[in-house]
A = this chain, B = another copy of it.
């Protein structure tokens, strides 16, 4: 019953809107369905200027998802 196992991967997502959006983009790009995803923990947040023009919000996150069910 308690044998579930999770794997954790680390990604950086970005968005011109917000850090919430950046986190969502990291999840989408990892190709994980909502069914697999368990949690995205924020490791670091930053804001970058790309091409001298606009701010890009970036979120480095750890994504965990179940690989072995009960």
Q: Which residues of A contact B (CB under 8 A)?
A: 1-16, 18-20, 23-27, 29-30, 34-35, 37-42, 44-50, 52-57, 60-62, 64, 67-68
Which residues of chain B are near A47, meaning CB under 8 Å? 20, 23-24, 27, 39-40, 42, 61
- Give me 23 A-to-B residue pairs in the complex whose CB atoms sit less than 8 angstroms apart, sorted by A's number: A2-B15, A2-B16, A2-B56, A5-B11, A5-B12, A5-B13, A5-B25, A5-B26, A7-B9, A7-B10, A7-B11, A8-B12, A9-B10, A10-B10, A12-B64, A19-B19, A20-B57, A27-B47, A34-B52, A37-B49, A38-B48, A40-B46, A41-B46
B29 engages A39 (CB within 8 Å): no
